[in-house]
Structure 1
Amino acid sequence: MTGVKIATIGGGSSYTPELMEGFIKRYEELPIREIWLVDIEAGKEKLEIVGEMAQRMWDASPYDVKIHLTLDREKALKDADFVTTQFRVGLLNARVKDERIPAYYGMLGQETNGAGGMFKAFRTIPIILGIVEDMKRLCPNAWLINFTNPAGMVTEAIVRYGKWDRVIGLCNVPVGAIMVEPGLLGKKENELIYKFAGVNHFHWHKVADLEGNDVTLDIIDQLFKEDNGLPKNIHDIPFYKEQLHQMKMIPCGYHRYYYRQEEMLDHALEEYKTIGTRAEQVKKTEAELFELYKDPNLDHKPEQLEQRGGAHYSDAACETIASIYANKNTQIVVSTKNNGAVPDLPADCVVEVMAYLGADGARSVAFGELPTAEKGWLQVMKAMELLTIEAAVTGDYGTALQAFTINPLVPSGDTARKVMHELFIAHKAHLPQFKETIERLEKEGVEVHDEVAKDLI
């Protein structure tokens, strides 16, 4: 059969209309035959709601594309050309626990950074490795396009432990920067040249004009005057301009958790005590979105979806797929194997860099060595990622503790162990690899103290 088959795992996500919009926009260069949206039993209702919405979007377009809904992952994967992943193990309630348990002890629990991010990796990595094994049997020539957080660690696990190189990890954060920054200098998107280096949610970039002149400092100055394109899910506390001038690079929005850790933590704890953590806020937004999706007359992505924090999702995911399929060699920021693009990290690890995307995957744009401070930060973060991934695969308690100890957002010591222990108990249902550890902690009487998180167990 001609045409492209796409399987989306986590198809009941509120982001799916964004994905459909991107595919519709690119249909002439990416002739899709069928799209399979797959989810688990707990997500069946949302899958049906968003699936009907997705079909309406295609029916309103000039293209004849069929949306298939299923809880059978193997059926969705069979002979797929591209597999996209956007799932959350434990659903949003798991994120609530990731954020509230650390916050109870005065610690950050953000979903990709800090204690919560590590436990999201513990839950997610075994599942993604199972998906990879299914792909080896059912669609061995497919490309895996991963948007599941923590995206960098998930992609690293796929390459390192899944032994699967046909994978591209994506994030909407770099897309936002590339869309906003040219306007700060009165230019269009294609009138600046970008280079990125780092890991997911922990990268920096430099910018030049078409004559090769570095304009990074000019953009930095404008960022302190204009809209900086920060995603909706990051509190906008300004960086220190002098620090950015010294490094001559622009850090991603998530660096606020590290460069302004004190203020970001204070803000997170204030929300924890008042309006609820980001996860609790997102649950309300999601509920509103799915009410909108139920409208039989709605056949386009609603504006409210941009409040979800994933704006430009389709621009990253769909353009990546279209570029690989049509060998377009489009420049996109991706998580991919380093291969020397960032010499401060091993060649075989996954980094987030600018790359050309074509039929053979990602060809990274070399960045070169980072300045002293950023090199140190990056090497610590990659060590933390590798330890987290190893713990997720092996279920080894000591390795998990090492990851907690080295993470810059987790103050090491007895409180960190308490947070880790409570998170183990809270996520018991989704951490079978830590079965022995969890049984030991239960015998010791460990329990969750945050009442909201406790009620979700």
Structure 2
Amino acid sequence: MKLAVVGGGSTYTPELIDGFARLRDTLPIEELVLVDPAADRLDLVGGLARRIFAKQDHAGRITTTTDIDAGVADADAVLLQLRVGGQAARNKDETWPLECGCVGQETTGAGGLAKALRTVPVVLDIAERVRRANPDAWIIDFTNPVGIVTRALLQAGHKAVGLCNVAIGFQRKFARLLDVNPSEVHLDHVGLNHLTWELGVRLGGPDGENVLPKLLAEHGDAIADDLRMPRQVIDRLGVVPSYYLRYFYSHDEVVRELGTKPSRAAEVAAMEKELLAMYGDPTLDEKPELLAKRGGAFYSEAAVDLAASLLGNGGSPVQVVNTYNNGTLPFLPDDAVIEVQARVGHDGATPLAVPALDPLYAGLIANVTAYEDLALEAALRGGRYRVFKALLAHPLIGQYEYAEGLTDRLIAHNREHLAWA
């Protein structure tokens, strides 16, 4: 089995490598190719990756290349984890929206749109190269904004499934609180990527006992603290929202907070510098503890599980993924991409049935889906007016004056990445 990781020079990658090494019985990789245009980073990450495999007695071969076509040749699956423009572009995404009084974040709001505009054309080009190399290869997308990018891939006819670590993070957190094995915890996870709610927490399987009321009663303070939301809000909702919902439920508070401290991108850039120095140490043969602060917790385990299922090598039969709606949420078009529990196998992902949603959640999902429609149109076709329409449609913006100012700033800060600008 051959896997390729595009964006393999990321400081995330040792987390992925550690998972591949530990879970080799689930996903028996014979060859792993790390692909990245940044040769200097690739050398550091590739060296550590080989040492991790060697320490854990993994027999697989790890190679590195800056050539996408060579890297994806004959791959059975390709993982996408790229960041067009790097942390410098992310830093802009997280700062210039604040000038208009709107949240600065890399996956939602104006910053999220900027990332989508930079990313979708690049991902589609890579996907075409994958299809030419092996039309049967699966593409697993971890590249944000996952929902928009996955929809672009699916609409172009690629074999693709989107992946996010939010659900597995909740699963592991709830398992610790309940003192059970994570495999026993199943989530009624519903929504769009980075716009989800845990409507239930079930033990033993998708139809098992719902212990969410018990969790909230006994551990509500800890859950609320993790989400950085008031306990009374969680209790009133009776569900657990993704921490990304804070940008919607506490928008103005978040804007004020972000204006008083360095951006997350600046923090990550400093962390990456330190991590890369560690990766260059020839005695390091495991992922460093600092990597846990980088983000992406449990990404490797989710990726292994998904790849194993798609490639017919086992894996969990039910997983939370991003895939076509196909009637699951009846108020959305079939070709909307949703993030829900799905049955996953070599034919792809089929969402499980979802109960009728409270309008409180359905309304926001529908609104953000409309924005994603317009965002994808802007990413595929370009043009100032399409960017403006997407911004005006976003529930975190929604005002003409804000949308105008943000459109000008987005184009100015991303001109080098926009072929039409």
TM-score of the pair, normalised by structure 1: 0.87
- CA deviation after TM superposition for structure 1 residue 414, in Å: 2.4
- Name the SS for the 2:396 alignment partner: coil
- CA deviation after TM superposition for structure 1 residue 223, in Å: 4.3
In 2, the alpha carbon distance for the partners of 1:214 and 1:140 equals 41
The aligned counterpart of 1:447 is none
Distance change in 2, residues 1:223/1:377 (3 Å) = farther
- CA deviation after TM superposition for structure 1 residue 249, in Å: 2.5
The aligned counterpart of 1:394 is 381
The aligned counterpart of 1:70 is 65
Matched, 1:21 2:12: no
- Name the SS for the 1:122 alignment partner: helix
- CA deviation after TM superposition for structure 1 residue 29, in Å: 3.0
In 2, the alpha carbon distance for the partners of 1:103 and 1:173 equals 25
Question: In structure 1, which of residues 389, 399, 413 is the aligned counterpart of residue 400 of structure 2?
Answer: 413
In 2, the alpha carbon distance for the partners of 1:140 and 1:15 equals 27
The aligned counterpart of 2:80 is 85
* Cα deviation digits, residues 69-88 of structure 1 (max 9, x gap): 11110001111101000000
- Name the SS for the 1:184 alignment partner: helix
Matched, 1:318 2:308: no
In 2, the alpha carbon distance for the partners of 1:399 and 1:240 equals 39
Question: In structure 2, which of residues 98, 102, 105 is the aligned counterpart of residue 103 of structure 1?
Answer: 98
The aligned counterpart of 1:380 is 367
- CA deviation after TM superposition for structure 1 residue 94, in Å: 0.5
Where in structure 2 are the equivalents of 1:4-15 lying within 5 Å?
4-15=1-12
Question: In structure 1, which of residues 134, 137, 149 is the aligned counterpart of residue 132 of structure 2?
Answer: 137
- CA deviation after TM superposition for structure 1 residue 426, in Å: 1.5
Where in structure 2 are the equivalents of 1:111-122 lying within 5 Å?
111-122=106-117
- CA deviation after TM superposition for structure 1 residue 15, in Å: 0.6
Question: In structure 2, which of residues 320, 337, 352 is the aligned counterpart of residue 333 of structure 1?
Answer: 320
The aligned counterpart of 2:279 is 293
Matched, 1:216 2:237: no
- Name the SS for the 1:255 alignment partner: helix
TM-score of the pair, normalised by structure 2: 0.94
| Contact 1:83 1:144 (8 Å CA) reproduced | yes
Where in structure 2 are the equivalents of 1:168-179 lying within 5 Å?
168-179=161-172
* Cα deviation digits, residues 275-310 of structure 1 (max 9, x gap): x11111110111111111111001111111110121
What code does the residue aligned with 2:217 have?
D
- Name the SS for the 2:405 alignment partner: helix
* Cα deviation digits, residues 24-63 of structure 1 (max 9, x gap): 11212322111111112xx221111111111111122222
In 2, the alpha carbon distance for the partners of 1:193 and 1:383 equals 29
In 2, the alpha carbon distance for the partners of 1:422 and 1:238 equals 30
| Contact 2:305 2:315 (8 Å CA) reproduced | no
| Contact 1:77 1:83 (8 Å CA) reproduced | yes
- Name the SS for the 1:127 alignment partner: helix
Distance change in 2, residues 1:221/1:265 (3 Å) = farther
In 2, the alpha carbon distance for the partners of 1:227 and 1:195 equals 17
The aligned counterpart of 1:202 is 195
Q: Aligned residue pairs: how many?
A: 417
- CA deviation after TM superposition for structure 1 residue 314, in Å: 0.4
Question: In structure 2, which of residues 120, 123, 130 is the aligned counterpart of residue 125 of structure 1?
Answer: 120
In 2, the alpha carbon distance for the partners of 1:288 and 1:149 equals 24
What code does the residue aligned with 1:132 have?
A
| Contact 2:175 2:181 (8 Å CA) reproduced | yes
- Name the SS for the 1:196 alignment partner: strand
What code does the residue aligned with 2:195 have?
F
Higher mean displacement: 103-112 or 254-263? 103-112
- CA deviation after TM superposition for structure 1 residue 186, in Å: 4.0
Distance change in 2, residues 1:155/1:238 (3 Å) = same
Question: In structure 1, which of residues 341, 347, 365 is the aligned counterpart of residue 334 of structure 2?
Answer: 347
In 2, the alpha carbon distance for the partners of 1:17 and 1:209 equals 31
| Contact 1:195 1:365 (8 Å CA) reproduced | no
In 1, the alpha carbon distance for the partners of 2:219 and 2:372 equals 30
| Contact 1:145 1:170 (8 Å CA) reproduced | yes
In 1, the alpha carbon distance for the partners of 2:186 and 2:86 equals 38
Distance change in 2, residues 1:212/1:35 (3 Å) = closer
Question: In structure 2, which of residues 343, 347, 351 is the aligned counterpart of residue 356 of structure 1?
Answer: 343
Question: In structure 1, which of residues 364, 368, 372 is the aligned counterpart of residue 355 of structure 2?
Answer: 368
Distance change in 2, residues 1:351/1:59 (3 Å) = same
In 1, the alpha carbon distance for the partners of 2:92 and 2:113 equals 13
* Cα deviation digits, residues 171-199 of structure 1 (max 9, x gap): 11111101111333344323333221111
Distance change in 2, residues 1:228/1:312 (3 Å) = farther
Matched, 1:150 2:141: no
In 2, the alpha carbon distance for the partners of 1:308 and 1:400 equals 31
What code does the residue aligned with 2:229 have?
P
Matched, 1:253 2:239: no
| Contact 1:209 1:215 (8 Å CA) reproduced | yes
* Cα deviation digits, residues 91-122 of structure 1 (max 9, x gap): 11000111111123332120001110100000
| Contact 2:306 2:315 (8 Å CA) reproduced | no
What code does the residue aligned with 2:61 have?
K
CA RMSD of aligned residues (A): 1.8
In 1, the alpha carbon distance for the partners of 2:234 and 2:160 equals 32
Question: In structure 2, which of residues 138, 161, 178 is the aligned counterpart of residue 185 of structure 1?
Answer: 178
| Contact 1:9 1:84 (8 Å CA) reproduced | yes
Question: In structure 2, which of residues 244, 252, 265 is the aligned counterpart of residue 279 of structure 1?
Answer: 265
Unpaired segments of 5 or more residues in structure 1? 231-235, 436-457
Unpaired segments of 5 or more residues in structure 2? none
| Contact 1:341 1:368 (8 Å CA) reproduced | no
